[in-house]
Amino acid sequence: MKAGEGRPGKGFSTELFPVFLMAAILVPVYFVLPSRMMAAEILIMAIPTLAFILLLGYTGLLNFGTGSLFAVGAYTAGILLARHNVHILLAIIAGVAMSGIISVIMGYFCIKRGGLIFALLTLAFNQLIWFIIWQWKSFTGGPDGIWGIKREILELGIFSINLKPTFNFYIFVLILFLLLFLFVRRLIESPFGKVLMGMRESELRATAIGYNPETYKWIAFIIGGLICGLGGTLFALHQEYVGEHLATWHTSGEFAIMALLGGTFVLPGALIGSGVFIFLADFLNKFTVLSKAGAWLLVLGVIFIVVVMFLRGGIYGGAEKVYQLLKKK
């Protein structure tokens, strides 16, 4: 018998250990943060950041359309919940599906071009979706957005959960985030994920051994769009409001900053970057001198520059290097 054979339990426990560790850390975090709303927001914003990392860190695609796909999911769920009073799970599924459909179309036109052209095309689609949301006032509410979204009781057949309390909603978001994290981790470690990483390193070699880069990148882009849609639907439930600002390039830029802060080549970087960005934004805005005229953005920008210049691999990469140095000593 070869080493490792006949011991599936060990591999299964090793695979789930990071998920259980994250759950053990994130549940108490809810009670430590200065705002009860902040805990759920960090997890929600980490979801599209995870999609950004999947495309940039593991596929080599710089996507500036993350915000628009996030907004599509949010608006779809928001409209269904506010105007048609549909089941919460149905609204989430519909938001994810609609973002997936848009990502199919967007990816079809963008994937054919690589590098900078791909990034600019996704930015152009992002602005197109924002313009549609802004102008289609009868459907999207235009600049006023969608109001009246209710986060109430989630009926699950034999039992129900009241999502109105912030802690209940946080646990609901946490469960979805952990399941998503496990899915993306499995995806990266699968043969499909290995092909993506191979194309990131050398697309020419991947083509030479028989893989079609466009197909793999398109599928990865669609998966990223579905993930963004999930984040958008949860954001609509979290805020109980959806506005056109979600589809602007600023939102896509924020997801990129979160990914770079946390680490673009590791999946936990999404959670780290989201947490640091949101916590710093809240903390810096408490100082009147910084909150006026948006001066807090200057401080945040300096922190971002320092991390990018001196911490290769983001905060996660920097922490890993410190750990390795301490381990050697």
| DSSP symbols for 93-148 | HHHHHHHHHHHHHHHHHHTTS-HHHHHHHHHHHHHHHHHHHHH-HHHH-GGG-B--
Cα–Cα distance, 7 to 96 (Å, whole number): 37
The answer, as to whether pTM is greater than 0.85, is yes
Q: What pLDDT is stored for residue 157 in this prediction?
A: 80
Average pLDDT over residues 290-296: 81
pLDDT band at 144 (very low <50, low <70, confident <90, very high): very high
pLDDT score of 2 more than 80: no
Cα–Cα distance, 6 to 276 (Å, whole number): 42
Positive or negative, the CA dihedral 80, 86, 89, 90 is: negative
Average pLDDT over residues 219-231: 97
The answer to whether the beta carbons of residues 236 and 118 sit under 8 Å apart is: no
Average pLDDT over residues 219-230: 97
Cα–Cα distance, 39 to 170 (Å, whole number): 7
Q: What pLDDT is stored for residue 256 in this prediction?
A: 95
Has domain 35-328 been given CATH number 3.30.2010? no
Q: What pLDDT is stored for residue 12 in this prediction?
A: 58
pLDDT band at 11 (very low <50, low <70, confident <90, very high): low
pLDDT score of 5 more than 50: no
Q: Which two tokens stand for residue 161?
A: 């959960």
The answer to whether the beta carbons of residues 261 and 307 sit under 8 Å apart is: yes
> Which of the given ranges, 31-35, 93-97, 210-214, has the highest pLDDT on average?
93-97
The answer to whether the beta carbons of residues 223 and 54 sit under 8 Å apart is: yes
The answer to whether the beta carbons of residues 47 and 180 sit under 8 Å apart is: yes
At 245, is the secondary structure helix, strand, or coil?
A: helix
Convert the pLDDT of each residue in 166-200 to its tens digit.
999 999 999 999 999 999 999 999 999 999 999 98
Q: What pLDDT is stored for residue 10 in this prediction?
A: 47
Angle of CA points 192, 224, 43, to nearest 5°: 115
253 or 326: which leads in pLDDT: 253
Q: What percent of the chain has pLDDT over 90?
A: 73
| Residues pairing with 35 in the sheet | none
